[in-house]
Amino acid sequence: MSETKKLYIRTYGCQMNVYDSERMAEALGGSGYTEVSSPEEADMILLNTCHIREKAAEKVYSELGRLRSLKNEKPELKIGVAGCVAQAEGAEIMARQPLVDLVVGPQSYHRLPDMEARTRRGEKVLETEFPEDDKFETLKTRGPKARRAPAAFLTVQEGCDKFCAFCVVPYTRGAEVSRPADRILAEARDLVSRGVREITLLGQNVNAYHGSGPDGRDWGLARLVRSLAEIDDLKRIRFTTSHPNDMEDDLIAAHGDCDKLMPYLHLPVQSGSNRILKRMNRSHDRDSYLRLIERIRAARPDIAMSGDFIVGFPEETDADFQATLDLVREVNYATAFTFKYSTRPGTPAAERSGQVPPEVAAERLGALQALLAEQQQAFMQGMVGREVGVLFEKAGRHPGQMVGKSDYLHAVHVHGPALKEGDLRRVRITSAGPNSLAGELV
């Protein structure tokens, strides 16, 4: 019988990292590893990192510093760094932190079993190239037929060809690559057989998906969505994150004619100023974005729009920021994510003059967040009295209470003694709180 070893993974950042961590655990499962919930229990620790936010690398070094005493107590403990920080700074991580045994980029984690074996032989292992072999093809199966949570992520596309001036993704994830449709459909069916009822399709630019179909033709995201919708026990489909330039007519139409595609769309714009959008190299302008929103809402009038915004981009003026506020008022977002611009080494924007003073950027961020919070609360209050679908995912804090996600991704609390995980029920919303809704079964 093979030795059972214990694996602890700490995941930072986006949903794609959550998916990648699942696949890393499955890859190492074949080498005898089972996951544990604390680093103190582990024989191997993996930090799956994100490079998007400010000071991402410093956070990794800080976490590694905290693990030093644990490594001293357990010299046989193996510590690895994975993900985008590993891709961008792998050699430096190895040089600065001798306790690290392996560094693996996001395109090479299918090689973890071999890397782990090499560390057991006393080697230090660095894998940050973009390999020719397909990690998804190598990891065809999702491991033992364990029961899954009702909602799951499924990566369909990776990488980015847009080269926004502020973003490191093209350098850490590589060029845009789409998985073949038949492999995605097979993985989706496998997830559904384990109890998954909602799948979120993931990609750096997910709507740039153009994978080869089983019919030999190129499939876009809309055709993939419609094919997934034919899986009987798959009840909900979502996708994120989208780029405005890749929102094709067929995908817009799918929001109106595919019942399983949820009425929620995350469509980042980043700024409302044409001047700043050009400096960001976003390749769209304010008016084209607003026209796109109009077309999407014409196809699905009840759709909830979400967005991303960066304030304090180099040379952003008060007038540029006001243009962002004006766009937010015009679109009226259900939710949004906001960030102060932070310099990412190696990106074009990092070398530019005209950096906005931190206190000015902070003031603008506060004003933008206040406006978006007002819109979010108005959207949630507007849900009161409406009926929505809710997919229940876990027990609530009170006896007989279950918590699930609405069609619009709101957390919804419902009392119903007969409810269980995985139930999809109609719920009438009775009240709205700051961050969640309450309702009753219809």
Find, among 252, 245, 236, the residue nearest to 270 by Cα.
245
DSSP 370: H
- The number of beta carbons lying within 10 Å of the beta carbon of residue 38 is 9
Query: Do residues 79 and 39 make contact, with C-beta atoms less than 8 angstroms apart?
Result: no
Alpha carbons 145 and 141: distance in angstroms, whole number? 10
Structure tokens at 114: 């071999």
Residue 167 among known ligand-binding residues: yes
Alpha carbons 210 and 203: distance in angstroms, whole number? 12
Alpha carbon separation from 164 to 54, 282, 306 (Å, rounded): 16, 6, 19
DSSP 34: E
Radius of gyration for the alpha carbons in the chain, expressed in angstroms and rounded: 23
Q: Which residues contact 287 (CB under 8 A, 6 or more apart)?
A: none
Alpha carbons 12 and 78: distance in angstroms, whole number? 19
Residue 258 among known ligand-binding residues: no
* Distance, CA of 47 to chain centre: 17
Alpha carbon separation from 230 to 50, 179, 224, 225, 233 (Å, rounded): 34, 19, 10, 9, 9
Residue 164 among known ligand-binding residues: yes
Query: Do residues 328 and 149 make contact, with C-beta atoms less than 8 angstroms apart?
Result: no
Detail the residues annotated as belonging to a binding site for [4Fe-4S] cluster: 14, 50, 84, 160, 164, 167
Detail the residues annotated as belonging to a binding site: 14, 50, 84, 160, 164, 167
